[in-house]
Each structure stands twice: as structure tokens, then as C-alpha cells.
């Protein structure tokens, strides 16, 4: 494997510095033409992103938000995909100063048995979830790759009356190509790994022990994942550790690197903003973006990579989540707990970070519906083999929305039948009536309407 990472072959710090010096001279007309380009859904180069990150003035910022809203609306429509994290082990050998699971934080650690995983999954399924993100700390003794494989098999083997967990994404520590092959063979959805911060000196300051303290090994994890056959990877930055402008550019460079080397960039980008946690040192976060900065950076990412899914967790408040959804977020978690075994036992013990949106899954689904947003439980692409470059081709041609909306409506109809009461079902019928005409193709609209009727009479797991 190439020796990426040294002297910034992927993330060249000096290059980023020069980029910002140059971007500071961007003229107003150039900013306008960058925004015109974004408005044509063409995405942006990292040079153009740098110019927008340094832009100021309320008029430009307003236009950034209005273009982000337009892209969100036209590419993703009124749907939002739902998922839930499932924490299976909080054993960890790393010392990441910002995290409640760091190895020097003393608390009673827990790893779920396969039976306990079944119980957690049963609770998640009873909430209506079909898409999970499996989360575990790094500990080769207590949480080896075999345990993750067993956990995945356990989840996929579970069968429920209303349907199964249909997609399990995995968020585990950077590992070897061999282990990525094993994860791929175990049928994972997206492999998720946050770089936390791309700024090497900051990375080294906040990761003070354990294998994760190796910046290069962490940064090249997606290269090994792709070489191991995983073609959907989800990146993220923990905003707050270093200057968000640097982090956004580094995210772009990382994605461009993967696209160049393997033909496919990030499938998703997560944008967690640092939160306090028991046992964590929030003082390491000297660069927490304000709400205004955070909204602007999310909008700029939306402009830059219009076809990449964007995810927020329950770290953000309900009010912020509402604003973030309107300018670009396409996936949110709901009714989440960030504790091992937390779905069966909601009593708070040790968590990775504090949750700001504590609403239940049904409250979140209700809230989205009130906002006329369609909560979607779709997992169709992964199950139809639309992953990696196949997915990207469909996304970049703009044709993905022709399947997202029908799938959103069908999965919502299924949710209404299986997890809700008559009053909710009436609301869903109303929402379906509003959105069905938005399906452009006559044939697809007809098929969706027919499938919804089939779902009402007992059919399940219909998708296109």
C-alpha cells in the first residue's frame, strides 16, 4: 500500500494554508460565480470551498443558505432517512481526551452478549428502526473483529413479524485490510470512521494514548477499507477540536483523494459538534463553531458535495436539527441512546457524549410529519447493490431522487401500519396524497400507489 499521509499526501497542511491565503483575495464577482455553479448542482472544488468559507457579509451568507436549501429540496426532496446507533461495547484502549469512553475514565465497562444484542435490537425494531449504526470502542481483547462479525450475523439473522433490521452500518476503529475484507463479507452497509480532526498537531494533542493516536494509520483507514472491498465509506469531523474552515477543506481533500484512487468519494459525511460527556475534557475543544458558523459550514458542504448524504446525530437540539435539515442534512438518528445496553435500560450510566435531542422516536417522527417532511426508513440501495460507484453514478445523474421518494412513501406507509395508531395512519395518508404527485414518472407513481395499497393489506419490504 502507498505510504499516504506523510507530509500530507492526503492532507497537506502547508497546501491548505496557502489555499486560504489565496482564497482571501477572492473577489465578490468570483464568489457569485461559485454560487452560480453550486446552484447548477455541479459541486465545488476545494479551492471554491475555501473561498466560500472565508466569505463574509450577510448577502453572501444568505445566498449560501438559499442555494443550500434549493439543492436539498431538489436532490433530496422532503424526505429524511432515519437511523439509530447501537452501542455494543464501551471497552476502549484509546485515550481520546474528548470522549467519555477513554481508557483512563473509570467506570464499569460493558460488552453486550449476543443475547443482549438481540434484546437491544428487538427494542429498536419495536420503535420502527430498519437501519442501525453499530458502534464499539477499540479493544482487541474484549472486542475483536470476530465479535463484530458475530454481532452483525446476530442482527441480520433476527426476524420480526413487521420486518427486520435491513441495514447495519459499522463504526469501529481503523483496522487492517484483512479485517475490512471480513467486515465486507459480513454484509456491512457503510463503514463509518470519523477523522475527528484532520489537523495533525491537534490530533496528536487530543489522542494521547492507544493505537488511535497514530494519525497516519487513522487517516489511511478508508484506503485499506476500499482495498478490502468496502465501497461505501462515511466520514466525519468532530467540529470543535480545530478551526472548522481547515476541517472542511481537509474533508474535501480526503474525499477527492478516494475518488482519484478508487473512483468513489465519501458516501456520507457526518457533522458532529463536540458535546460534553462524563469523564471527557471539553476544554480540549477550543474551536467550537457558533450556531451561525455551524449552519454556514453545513450549507457549504451541501453546496460542495450535493450528492453525498449528510448526517446529524442527537448531539444537536431539536431547534438546530430543524434548521440543519432545511439546508442539507439528509439523515438523522431518532430516539437514540449512546450507552451500551441503553435501549433496554434507559437509566443513564456511562455515555460517549451528551444527547441534546432526547425526544422518543415516535415524537421525532411526529415532529417531522408536522414539518411536512417524510420520515424514511428506506434501505433500498444497499439491498439492490446500488453501492460505491453504481450509487454515485445514479446520484450524480440526479436520478436517485426517482427512487428515494417512492421508497420513502412506501416505508412510511409500512411504519404507519406496524407501529402507529389510526390517527397517525390518517396523517400518513394525507402526507402521501401531498407527495405522491411529486413522483415524476407515471409508471413509478402508479407502482408506488399500488405498493402502498399492498402494504396496507399486509405485504412488507417493498422497494424500488
Q: Judged by CB under 6 A, does residue 99 bind ligand SF4?
A: yes
**For the CA atoms of 271, 277, 279, 285, what is the dihedral angle to 10 degrees?**
50
137 is an interface residue for ligand SF4 by CB under 6 A:
yes
407 counts as binding ligand SF4 under rule CB under 6 A: yes
- 96 scored as a contact of ligand SF4 (CB under 6 A): yes
Judged by CB under 6 A, the residue of 16, 38, 48, 94 near ligand SF4 is 94
Task: Decide if residue 378 touches ligand SF4 (CB under 6 A).
Answer: yes
Decide if residue 403 touches ligand SF4 (CB under 6 A): yes
Which part of the chain contacts ligand SF4 (CB under 6 A), choosing from 218-226, 340-348, 366-374, 399-407? 399-407
Please tell me whether residue 350 binds ligand SF4 under the rule CB under 6 A. Answer: no
Contact call for residue 413 and ligand SF4 (CB under 6 A): no
Query: Using the rule CB under 6 A, is 101 a contact of ligand SF4?
Result: yes
C-beta separation of 295 from 244 below 8 A: no
Least Cβ distance, residue 306 to ligand SF4 (angstroms): 13
Q: Which stretch binds ligand SF4 (CB under 6 A): 44-52, 95-103, 333-341, 427-435?
A: 95-103
Q: Judged by CB, which is closer to ligand SF4: 67, or 173?
A: 173
**Residues 18-47 interacting with ligand SF4 (rule: CB under 6 A):** none
Of 19, 400, 420, 462, which lies in the binding site for ligand SF4, with binding defined by CB under 6 A?
A: 400
Residue 409 touches ligand SF4, criterion: CB under 6 A? no
Q: Is 412 in the site for ligand SF4 (CB under 6 A)?
A: no
Site for ligand SF4 in 191-250 (CB under 6 A): 212
Instruction: Determine, following the binding rule CB under 6 A, whether residue 102 of this chain makes contact with ligand SF4.
Output: yes
Cβ-in-10-Å burial (0-12, 13-18, 19+) of 283 comes to exposed
Smallest distance from the beta carbon of 106 to ligand SF4, in angstroms?
14
Residue ranges that bind ligand SF4, judged by CB under 6 A: 81, 92, 94, 96, 99, 101-102, 137-138, 173, 212, 376, 378-381, 400, 403-404, 407
Amino acid at each position: 500500500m502507498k505510504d499516504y499521509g506523510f507530509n500530507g499526501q492526503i492532507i497537506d497542511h502547508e497546501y491548505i494554508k496557502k489555499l486560504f491565503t489565496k482564497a482571501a483575495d477572492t473577489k465578490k464577482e468570483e464568489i457569485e460565480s461559485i454560487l452560480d455553479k453550486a446552484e447548477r448542482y455541479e459541486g465545488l472544488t476545494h479551492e471554491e470551498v475555501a473561498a466560500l468559507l472565508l466569505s463574509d457579509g450577510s448577502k453572501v451568507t444568505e445566498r449560501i443558505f438559499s442555494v443550500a436549501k434549493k439543492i436539498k429540496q431538489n436532490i433530496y426532496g422532503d424526505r429524511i432517512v432515519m437511523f439509530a446507533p447501537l452501542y455494543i461495547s464501551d471497552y476502549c484502549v484509546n485515550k481520546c481526551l474528548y470522549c467519555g469512553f477513554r481508557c483512563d475514565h473509570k467506570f464499569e465497562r460493558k460488552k453486550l452478549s449476543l443475547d443482549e444484542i438481540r434484546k437491544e435490537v428487538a427494542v429498536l425494531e419495536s420503535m420502527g428502526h430498519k437501519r442501525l449504526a453499530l458502534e464499539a470502542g477499540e479493544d482487541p481483547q474484549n472486542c475483536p473483529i470476530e465479535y463484530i462479525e458475530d454481532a452483525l450475523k446476530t442482527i441480520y439473522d433476527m426476524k420480526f413479524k413487521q420486518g427486520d433490521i435491513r441495514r447495519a452500518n459499522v463504526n469501529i476503529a481503523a483496522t487492517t485490510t484483512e479485517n475490512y475484507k471480513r467486515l465486507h463479507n459480513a454484509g456491512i452497509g457503510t463503514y463509518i470512521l470519523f477523522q475527528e480532526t484532520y489537523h495533525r498537531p491537534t490530533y496528536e494533542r487530543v489522542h494521547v494514548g492507544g493505537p488511535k493516536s497514530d494519525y497516519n494509520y487513522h487517516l489511511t483507514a478508508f484506503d485499506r477499507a476500499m482495498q478490502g472491498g468496502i465501497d461505501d465509506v462515511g466520514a466525519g469531523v468532530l467540529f470543535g477540536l480545530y478551526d472548522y474552515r481547515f476541517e472542511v477543506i481537509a474533508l474535501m481533500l480526503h474525499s477527492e483523494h478516494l475518488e482519484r484512487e478508487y473512483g468513489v468519494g465519501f458516501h456520507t459525511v457526518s457533522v458532529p459538534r463536540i458535546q460534553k460527556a462524563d469523564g471527557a475534557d471539553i476544554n480540549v475543544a477550543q474551536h467550537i463553531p457558533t450556531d451561525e458558523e455551524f449552519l454556514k459550514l453545513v450549507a457549504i458542504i451541501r453546496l460542495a458535495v450535493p450528492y453525498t448524504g449528510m448526517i446529524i446525530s442527537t448531539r444537536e437540539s431539536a431547534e438546530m436539527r430543524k434548521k440543519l435539515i432545511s439546508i442539507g442534512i439528509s439523515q438523522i438518528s431518532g430516539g437514540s441512546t449512546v450507552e451500551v445496553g441503553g435501549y433496554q435500560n434507559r437509566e443513564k450510566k456511562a455515555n460517549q457524549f451528551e444527547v441534546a435531542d432526547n425526544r422518543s422516536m415516535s415524537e421525532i417522527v411526529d415532529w417531522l410529519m408536522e414539518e411536512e417532511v417524510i420520515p424514511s426508513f428506506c434501505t433500498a440501495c444497499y439491498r439492490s447493490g446500488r453501492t460505491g460507484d453504481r450509487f454515485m453514478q445514479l446520484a450524480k445523474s440526479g436520478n436517485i431522487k426517482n427512487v428515494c421518494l417512492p421508497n420513502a412513501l412506501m416505508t412510511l406507509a409500512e411504519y404507519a401500519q406496524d407501529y402507529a395508531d389510526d390517527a397517525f395512519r390518517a396523517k400518513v395518508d394525507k402526507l402521501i396524497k401531498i407527495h405522491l404527485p411529486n413522483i415524476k414518472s407515471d409508471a413509478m407513481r402508479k407502482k408506488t400507489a399500488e405498493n402502498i395499497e399492498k402494504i396496507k393489506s399486509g405485504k412488507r419490504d417493498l422497494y424500488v
